[in-house]
Amino acid sequence: MKSIILRYPKTIITLALFLLFLIFTSFVFVKTNANLRNQAEKVIHIQALEMLNNEILAFVSSRVTYVNYDDIVNKQAGFRKELIRLREDSELRITDPAAAQIDTLLKKVDKAFQAQSVLIEDFKSYKSIVNNSVHYIFSIQPRIRNSLCVLDQDRENRESMTLIFRVLSAILVQNIEGIGDINKIEALINEILLDDLNPANRKMVQLFKRHARQIVSYQKKLDTINTLVNNKELTKSLNALKTVMVEYYRKKGKRLKEIGVSLFVITFVLFLVLIYFFIRADRNRKKIFELMNAVQNSDNSIVITDLEGTIQYVNKAFERNTQYAANEAIGQNSRILNAKSQPDEYYENMWETILNGDTWYDTFHNKRKDGTYFYEKASISPVFLPDGSFRSFIAIKLDITREKELQNKLEAANQALNEQIEELKLLQSAIEHTTDSIVITDKDGRIEYANPAYGKMTGCDCSEAPGTLFKLLKRGPHNMNFYDEMWKWLAKGDRYCGVHSCETADGTMYYDEETIIPIIDENGERTHFVAAGRNITERIKVEEERLNANKLESLGILAGGIAHDFNNILTAVLGNISIAKLAVSKGKQPLNYLEEAENACVRIKDLTLQLLTFSKGGSPVRKSVSMSKLVSESARFMLHGSSVDCHLDLQDNLWGAIVDEGQINQVMNNLVINAVQAMPDGGTLKIKAENRIMNENNPQNLKAGRYVKLSVEDQGVGIQPENLSKVFDPYFTTKQNGTGLGLASAYSIITKHQGCILLNSSPGKGTCFAIYLPASMESAAGTKENTAEEHHGTGNVLIMDDDPNIRNILGEMLEMLGYTVAFASDGQRAIDMYRDAMNLPSKFDVIIMDLTIPGGMGGQEAITTLRKIDPHIRAIVSSGYSNDDVMANYQDYGFTGVVAKPYDLRVLSKTLREILR
């Protein structure tokens, strides 16, 4: 509203004035009208009064006989009412001097009317009387005449008669025509003499005279009234009143009319001015509308703010760019757009510029309503008013987010490019300075680039190299097949690695380790080759020397080890022989010492056998073997009595392998022992056997084909990384009492079997050995165990042992041999079972008992009781403690036989067969 007034002050003021005057004019017009109507009413009232007055006057002056007085009564009442109305009306304006005059006149009229009313009432009464008397005298006239005419000759009568007629005619004239002298009539009446008349006539004439006198007397009064009424006191008052009132209202009306006319003129002029302003405003409005349209639909955001930055106007582009609707934005400070990423000084600078009256150009980083950011190129300038001051700013802004983003991307890309260039420079520098020769050729082998090292290596001038064919490789003593192979290789797109013996330009031979990489473009086409070469002549020489040294070193260790072992055993041999000789000399039995010596010799034989496996002569004696059986048996025997938990995972239908069973057993034993020793605190040992088909190019470098993979995994201490390369070396050991031959011989055995042994270890977590052995083509199932020395038999056997594993193994062994087995976990249970089954067909034929049962009845105690039950009982004692007295002298303790742990199937079968025979 305020802004509208400020914008169109002239129009608004004119409009206000126009309306004001219009209202005032209307008011005056209405007032004038009311006044005129009022005046007209007043005049009508007065005219009514005049009319009534005239009628009343007419009534008074009329000469008619009888009258219905209701008429005059109503007229008078009407007059009274009109008068009251006038008085009540004018009393309202008594303050006005003219009105006061009117009021006085009204009072005068009222007074005149009151006076007149009294006269009228008198007139009515008198008129009635006169009328009646006139009527009466005329009505009796014929009778009088008749009476008197009888005596027509009588002079008196005639005279009286004449007089009466004269009176009558005078009254008639007076009454009807209103002329004549009442006093004369009165005199005539008096002249009528009654004395001469006879009594009857006298009475009649007397009555006549009385009525005539009444007439005369009341007629006089009526005349007086007539005179008074015709004085027209009331009429004059009324006229005066009328004149004054008409004048009063006329003046008043005239004044109002003058005011009205002048107001009308002013209003009309204002109206014209208003129309002028309106036309001008309309023209401006159209112009403004066009401008507004342009601003509103401009592609630039246009914002108008006040000096504090409060938004007063925004266009559509603003709404689009900022997502603020116009009504949301207007009234807000423009700060709502500030992304706060630009420093405060930036904005302060802007304000300083624009408050100075200058235009500011720059870029804003702004925030949309939804919180996303955008860039705007803005120009902000003050909106100058005609007087040079300004109260608002206009900001014209263009969203340059995309440009900015592109710019940023470009910059980033540029930077990346620079970095790449730097990197390339670095690479180039590296390539330039590396000692390796690097050549880049096209797909036909034409050199595009050769680094200085190339020149140095080949003795060519590398600056001349580009354009020439890369012939380097053909200098060596290789045949054409070699190169064909290489090209085939490269044609596949693979990397080629190879060592070539080459010649320099001056004919010097050198070894070149060349790596050639084909460069493939996105279409899969070879475009370039990169050949990196290195003169490894020196390295080859060094390696050859070192290999020799290593062989010597190994040999030294081996020799040392063998020497050591041999020395030790030989010490035993020599010692025992010496003692035996001493014993012989002293007459003592030397057998023990000789046996010891013999044993030592056997050990030497074993050692020799082991050493033989390293030699070419120790080739394995191969046959088809069931690997599952081999592994399980080997593991079972090795682990018995240890604290290690074993998980045996053998694949079903495991292939067999053509191996030297003894050697593979040895390998497994060595691995398992190592594993168990690596887990002094116990743990889980996982032994796994599975079928594997190896393709060519396998990481193990095995021939393609079927393999059985055996893996032994422990959770032990693991192998230190520095030792990884040495563990397979003979006589390398980390153990106090190790021989250093276990893994070395395992490696040797497996290698000789065309397999491989792999090692994976992490210190503290464990070690895993994996063995790949070639699988036999035929199934191993058909391979028969050599059981020639195992004695099969029948009978019921009760096994008493606290260890369920031992019970099971023993049970399995016995069942394998054909026996029926039952189990007891301790002595007492065995006694009970034996006693219960004694008289049955399933009576136990033999009982095998563990010597000692921790916390339970052992074999020694049990046999005493069992002997009492069955004196013929056949009992075998079993124990790991082979040096126990009971084991040595079992028969003294009541046992029939003895079997030492670990069980040997052949020993066990033999013992059982002998006992049961």
Partner 1 sequence: MTIANPLQTEREMAMKNSIQSRLVILHMMVIVCITTGRHVAGQPLITPIPRRASFDRAKAHLGRKLFSDPLLSSDGTVSCESCHLLDQGGVDHLKFSLGVEGQLGKVNSPTVFNSSYNFFQFWDGRAIDLKEQARGPMTTHYEMNETLPNIVKKVKNSAEYPPLFLSIYPEGITEDSIVDAIAEFEKALDTPNSQFDKYLRGDNNALTEKEISGYVLFNSLGCIACHNGVLIGGNMYQKFGIMKEYRDPTNNPGRYRITGRKEDREVFKVPMLRNIELTAPYFHNGRVSTLKEAVDTMVEYQLGVNISKEEKSQLVAFLRTLTGEQPAFLTEDNQE
- Of 207 and 304, CB closest to partner 1: 207
Residue 112 or 675 with smaller CB distance to partner 1 = 112
* Residue 139 in the binding site for partner 1 (CB under 8 A): yes
Tokens 């009476």 belong to 147
- Give 180 or 880: the residue with its C-beta nearer to partner 1: 180
Which range touches partner 1 (CB under 8 A), out of 63-71, 239-247, 519-527, 779-787?
Answer: 63-71
Print burial letters for 615-629: b (CB count within 10 Å at least 16), e (below 16): eeebebebebbbbbb
173 scored as a contact of partner 1 (CB under 8 A): yes
Burial class of residue 761 (count of CB atoms within 10 Å of its CB; 0-12, 13-18, 19+): buried
Q: Which two tokens stand for residue 491?
A: 């044609």
Cβ atoms of residues 465 and 454 within 8 Å:
yes
Q: Which of residues 475-494 bind partner 1 (CB under 8 A)?
A: none
193 binds partner 1 (CB under 8 A): no
Which residues, 6 or more positions from 47, have their beta carbon under 8 angstroms from its beta carbon? none
| Residue 190 interacting with partner 1 (CB under 8 A) | no
Task: Note whether 614 and 730 are within 8 A (CB).
Answer: yes
Q: Which stretch binds partner 1 (CB under 8 A): 100-108, 131-139, 455-463, 607-615?
A: 131-139
Binding segment for partner 1 among 66-74, 394-402, 564-572, 581-589 (CB under 8 A)? 66-74
- Of all helices (H) and strands (E), which one includes residue 461? none
DSSP codes joined into one string, 624-682:
EE-HHHHHHHHHHHHHTTSSEEEEEEE-TT---EEE-HHHHHHHHHHHHHHHHHH-TT-
Which one of the spans 21-29, 160-168, 274-282, 676-684 is the region binding partner 1 (CB under 8 A)?
A: 160-168
CA dist 461 and 452 (Å) reads 8
Instruction: Name the nearest CA neighbour of 364 among 338, 382, 345.
Output: 338
Task: For partner 1, give the closer residue by CB, 187 or 574.
Answer: 187
Which residue among 85, 166, 316, 474 contacts partner 1 (CB under 8 A)? 166
Tokens of 756: 């491989």
Amino acid at 317: A
Binding part of the chain for partner 1, among 4-12, 38-46, 61-69, 357-365 by CB under 8 A, reads: 61-69
| Near partner 1 by CB under 8 A: residue from 38, 39, 101, 131 | 131
d(CA 344, CA 332): 19
The single residue among 24, 29, 136, 566 that binds partner 1, judged by CB under 8 A, is 136
Q: How far is the CB of 168 from partner 1 (least distance, A)?
A: 7
DSSP class of 177? I
Identified binder of partner 1 from the candidate list 8, 24, 29, 165, rule CB under 8 A: 165
- Residue 56: CB atoms within 10 A of its CB come to 22
Q: How many CB atoms lie within 10 A of CB 171?
A: 25
CA 548-551-557 angle, 5° bins: 145
Q: Does 172 bind partner 1 (CB under 8 A)?
A: yes
By CB under 8 A, is residue 206 in contact with partner 1? no
154 binds partner 1 (CB under 8 A): no
Segment near partner 1 (CB under 8 A); pick from 65-73, 237-245, 469-477, 501-509: 65-73
Q: Which CB, 42 or 211, lies closer to partner 1?
A: 211
Among 86, 105, 168, 473, binds partner 1 (CB under 8 A): 168
Residue carrying the six token digits 């007295």: 885
Degrees, nearest 5: CA angle 122-123-128: 105
Q: Which two tokens stand for residue 811?
A: 């049970």
Q: Is 179 in the site for partner 1 (CB under 8 A)?
A: yes
Least distance (Å) from partner 1 to the CB of residue 57?
A: 15
The residue within the footprint of partner 1, chosen from 110, 159, 448, 503 (CB under 8 A), is: 159
Which CB, 203 or 236, lies closer to partner 1? 203
Among the listed residues 35, 38, 39, 128, the single contact to partner 1 using CB under 8 A: 128
Using CA atoms, how far apart are residues 128 and 65, in angstroms rounded to an integer?
Answer: 8
What Cα–Cα distance (Å) separates residue 588 from each residue in 573, 598, 887? 18, 18, 28
Applying CB under 8 A, among 210, 640, 726, 913 the residue interacting with partner 1 is 210
Asked if the peptide bond before residue 902 counts as cis, ω within 30 degrees of 0, the response is yes
Applying CB under 8 A, which of residues 8, 24, 69, 637 lies at the interface with partner 1? 69
Rounded least distance, CB 174 to partner 1, Å: 10
Closest distance to partner 1 from the beta carbon of 115 (Å) = 12
Q: DSSP letters along 781-821, please?
A: GGPPP--TT------EEEEE-S-HHHHHHHHHHHHHHT-EE
Closest approach of Cβ 103 to partner 1, in Å?
A: 22
Task: Tell me how crowded residue 595 is: count the other CB atoms within 10 A of its CB.
Answer: 12
Query: Judged by CB, which is closer to partner 1: 66, or 881?
Result: 66
Taking the complex as a whole, how short is the minimal distance between the CB of residue 5 and partner 1, in angstroms?
48
Residue 10 tokens read as: 């002239």
Listing DSSP states for 713-739 in one string gives: E--S----HHHHTTTTSTT---STT--
Task: Single out the segment in contact with partner 1 by CB under 8 A; choices: 207-215, 278-286, 658-666, 718-726.
Answer: 207-215
Q: Kindly state whether residue 224 participates in binding partner 1, applying the rule CB under 8 A.
A: no
The smaller minimum CB distance to partner 1, of residues 170 and 675, is found at: 170
Report d(CA 196, CA 158) in Å as an integer: 11
User: In which residue are the tokens 């009526």 written?
Assistant: 222
Size of the site for partner 1 (CB under 8 A): 44
Q: What's the rounded Cα separation, in Å, for the pair 312 and 314?
A: 7
Q: Does 501 bind partner 1 (CB under 8 A)?
A: no
Please state whether 738 falls in left (phi above 0), alpha (psi between -120 and 50) or beta: beta
Residue 145 or 526 with smaller CB distance to partner 1: 145
The Cα 318–Cα 405 span in angstroms is 20
Q: Hey, what are 886's tokens?
A: 């009971």
- 124 near partner 1, rule: CB under 8 A: yes
Closer to partner 1 by CB, 68 or 227: give it. Answer: 68
Is 232 one of the binding residues for partner 1 (CB under 8 A)? no
Find the shortest distance in angstroms from Cβ 50 to partner 1: 21
* H/E stretch holding 769: strand 766-774
Task: Work out how close the CB of 68 gets to partner 1 at its nearest, in angstroms, rounded to a whole number.
Answer: 5
Cα distances (angstroms) measured from residue 872 to each of 194, 427, 841, 890, 916: 219, 96, 16, 15, 12
Q: Which of 16, 44, 150, 176 binds partner 1 (CB under 8 A)?
A: 176
Of 81 and 250, nearer to partner 1 (C-beta) is 81
Check binding of 135 to partner 1 (CB under 8 A).
Answer: yes
Nearest residue (CB) to partner 1, 123 versus 529? 123
Q: Interacting stretch for partner 1, rule CB under 8 A, among 57-65, 355-363, 437-445, 487-495? A: 57-65
Q: Say if residue 883 is exposed, middle or buried (CB neighbours under 10 Å; 0-12, 13-18, 19+).
A: exposed
Instruction: State yes or no: residue 183 binds partner 1 (CB under 8 A).
Output: no
Q: Tell me if 316 contacts partner 1 by CB under 8 A.
A: no
Distance of alpha carbon 819 from alpha carbon 626, whole angstroms: 25
- Residues 590-609 close enough to bind partner 1 by CB under 8 A: none
Q: Is residue 200 involved in binding partner 1 (CB under 8 A)? A: no
Determine if 184 is a binding residue for partner 1 (CB under 8 A).
Answer: yes
* Shortest distance (Å) from residue 63 CB to partner 1: 9
Question: Is residue 84 at the binding interface for partner 1, with CB under 8 A as the rule?
Answer: no
User: Do strands 875-879 and 897-900 pair parallel, antiparallel, or not at all (unpaired)?
Assistant: parallel
Which residue ranges make up the site for partner 1 (CB under 8 A)?
62, 64-71, 73, 77, 118, 121-122, 124-125, 128-129, 131-132, 135-136, 138-139, 141, 159, 162-163, 165-166, 168-170, 172-173, 176-177, 179-180, 184, 207, 210-211, 214
